[in-house]
Structure 1
Amino acid sequence: MARPLGTVTRGTTNPNRLRRMDRWIAATHGAELRRAATPLAVDLGYGAAPWTALELLRRLRAAAPRTEVVGVEIDPARVAAAQPYACDGLTFRHGGFEVPVPGRPTLIRAANVLRQYDEEEVAAVWERLCARLAPGTPPPPGGLPGSTGGPSASTGRLPASTGGLLVEGTCDEIGRRHVWVALGPEGPRTVTFATRLSSLERPSDLAERLPKALIHRNVPGEPVHAFLRDFDRAWAAAAPYASYGARQRWIRTIRDLRADWPVRDGVTRWRQGEVTVAWEALAPRT
C-alpha cells in the first residue's frame, strides 16, 4: 500500500468540539446528502479519539438518515484505537489526503487539519480533496429560478446540483469559536464565522481561528482584514441592541454589514451565531 498523503497532526480533540460546523453542514448540505444515491461523509483527520466522527454520524443522520461516515486518520495507531467504536454507518480507515474510500464522498470534513501546514501547501490540498468530491446531482424539474450557485440568502441552503462539499476550518479547543471554508468540486465557495455569542467581545476575536488560507492574510491591504475591521465597526454601532441580548446585537450587526459585503445566508443562521460570506470577497490578494 502506498504511504498516505500528509503528516500526523497533534490529534487534539474534545467531545462536541465541532458542533457548530456540524449543525451548519446538516442545515446547508442535508438536501444534497438526501438526494445522493449513496450518501457518504468523510471525517478526515479525526484525531486521537473518534468522538467527532461519532457525532458527525448522529448529526448527519438526523438530516439524511441513509448517510454513512468514514473516519480517516493517517496515524495507524489511532485507527486501531477507534475500531471498537465502529457501528452501523460508521467505519474507520488508515489514510490521508488521498481519501481512501470507495466512490466519491458527498462530504469531506477536515477540521483543525491544515493548521500545522504552510500556507503555500493549502491550495494543492484543497485541489486534491475537491477532486475526490461527488459531482452535482440533477436539480428538480424546472430548476431553481434565480439560483446563482451560492447558498440561499434566506435559508443558507445550497441549491440543487452543487455536488459534494469540502468543509475545512479551525476552531478553539471547546468549539466556542470557529471559522471554515466551504468548497465544491469547482473550488472555494464561502467562508463561515461561527461563535458562542455570550463569549464574544468583538467579531475580530474570531481572527485567531481563521483557516490557514486566511490567517496570515489578516493584515492591512488584505480583504479579510478589511472585513473584520468593518465587522467590528458594525458591532460597535449595534451596541444599543445589546440590551436585548447578544443575539439581537449580532443580527443587527450583520444586517448592517451586508450593505458592503456579500453575506450569503439569512437570519435563521445568524440566530445560531453564524455569518457566511462569499469566498471571492475574502480571498487573498495575489
Structure 2
Amino acid sequence: MARPAGAAKAGGRPVGAITRGTTGHNRLRRSDRWIAAAHGRLLRATERPLVVDLGYGASHTTTLELFTRLRRVAPGVEVVGIEIDPARVAVAKPYEREGLSFRLGGFELPVPRPPTLVRAFNVLRQYGEAEAWHYWDVLRGRLAPDGVLVEGTSSENGRRAVWVGLCPEGPRTITFSARFDAFERPSDLADRLPKTLIHRNVPGERIHAFLSDFDHAWAVSAPYGAHGLRQRWLASVRALSGSWPVSGRPPLGGPARWRLGELTLPFSAVDPRA
C-alpha cells in the first residue's frame, strides 16, 4: 500500500509504491497521439510548458517517445520522467537531453513548477478503488490552473487502452481506443478500465450499461464488416450516438478520431458517483 500523501514532506521519500515496470516500444502510442491532438494547442499556448510522465517503468522508452511526439506539436515542451525506483532512474539518466530529464519521485511530483500535463499510465492498477480516487485528487492538485492529467491503462502491446482526461476540477472525459483487430467485441476493453471504474462494470452501473450498448451496436453493425472493421466501428459509434454523448467536438471526438479506433465521451456519462 502506498504511503499517505504527506509522507514526502515528513520523510523526504517518494509517495507511492513500485510498479511492475512493464513497458515497451510504442506501448503508449495511441494515447500519445490523442494527447498531441487534444492538448497540443494548450502546450503551444503555455509559456515553458512542463509535461510529467509519472511511473514510466523499467525503461525510458515510452517517456522518450512522448517527448519526441510532443516536440513535433509544441517545440518548447519540457518532459520529465518520474520513477519511484532509484535503479530505474539511474538506467534512464544516460538518455537525458535538452528538454528531457528523469528524476526520482512519486505522486508528490518533484518538479520545479506546476505541470501543464501529467501522463500516468499503468500506475494505479495496483491500488484499491478508494486509493485511485485519492491519487486522482492528489495529482489534480499538482496541476497548473489550466493543466491536464491523463490517467489510463494499456495492454502490454499497446493495442487496447482506456484513459481519463482530468482537469483541476475533476474528470472530464474517458477515451476507449483499440486496433480494430485487437478485440472481438468492444466490451473486451473492460480489462483496461481505470481502477475507479473497473470494479463498477456490473449490472446497474453506468459503465456496464455503456459497454453493453456498445456491444449491441457492434453486433447490429456486423454487415458493415464486409467493408472492413473500421467501417463497422464507425457504424457502431453512429448507432451509439442516439443514446450516448459520443459526438464530441474535435479534437476530442468526431469522425476523424473514430476512424483511428477511438471513442471519447464525457466522464459524467459513466461516473459512478452521479
In the superposition, the TM-score normalised over structure 2's length comes to: 0.93
1:140-219 alignment, distance < 5 Å: 163-219=146-202
Residue 96 of structure 2 is matched in structure 1 by: 86
Residue 44 of structure 1 is matched in structure 2 by: 54
Conserved 8 A contact 1:190-1:278? yes
Whether 2:215 is the aligned partner of 1:232: answer yes
Structure 1 stretches of 5 or more lacking a match?
136-162
Whether 2:255 is the aligned partner of 1:267: answer yes
Instruction: Give 1:285 shift.
Output: 4.1
Residue 55 of structure 1 is matched in structure 2 by: 65
Instruction: Give 1:262 shift.
Output: 1.3
1-structure distance, mates of 2:182, 2:166: 28
Q: Secondary structure at the match of 2:19?
A: coil
1-structure distance, mates of 2:178, 2:106: 29
Q: Secondary structure at the match of 1:178?
A: strand
Q: Secondary structure at the match of 1:69?
A: strand
Provide, for residues 213-233 of structure 1, a one-character-per-residue CA deviation record: whole Å limited to 9, x for no partner. Answer: 111000000000000000000
Residue 72 of structure 1 is matched in structure 2 by: 82
Whether 2:264 is the aligned partner of 1:276: answer yes
Conserved 8 A contact 1:222-1:285? no
Provide, for residues 98-128 of structure 1, a one-character-per-residue CA deviation record: whole Å limited to 9, x for no partner. Answer: 0010111111000000000011101110111
2-structure distance, mates of 1:13, 1:237: 36
Q: Secondary structure at the match of 1:14?
A: coil
1-structure distance, mates of 2:185, 2:133: 30
Q: Identity over the aligned pairs, expressed in percent?
A: 63
Conserved 8 A contact 1:130-1:184? yes
2:240 to 253, 257, 260: 257
Moved over 6 A (4+): none
2-structure distance, mates of 1:198, 1:62: 29
Residues matched between the structures, number: 259
In the superposition, the TM-score normalised over structure 1's length comes to: 0.89
What is the CA RMSD across the aligned residues, in angstroms?
A: 0.9
Conserved 8 A contact 1:16-1:175? yes
2-structure distance, mates of 1:64, 1:35: 9
Instruction: Give 1:260 shift.
Output: 0.7
Provide, for residues 56-89 of structure 1, a one-character-per-residue CA deviation record: whole Å limited to 9, x for no partner. Answer: 0011111111111000001111111110111121
Report the AA paired with residue 27 of structure 2.
R
Residue 23 of structure 2 is matched in structure 1 by: 13
Instruction: Give 1:26 shift.
Output: 0.3
Report the AA paired with residue 205 of structure 2.
E
2-structure distance, mates of 1:88, 1:245: 43
Report the AA paired with residue 39 of structure 2.
H
2-structure distance, mates of 1:96, 1:132: 12
Q: Secondary structure at the match of 2:181?
A: helix
Structure 2 stretches of 5 or more lacking a match?
1-10
Q: Secondary structure at the match of 1:57?
A: helix
2-structure distance, mates of 1:252, 1:63: 31
Q: Secondary structure at the match of 1:208?
A: helix
Whether 2:28 is the aligned partner of 1:28: answer no
Instruction: Give 1:199 shift.
Output: 2.2
Report the AA paired with residue 106 of structure 1.
T
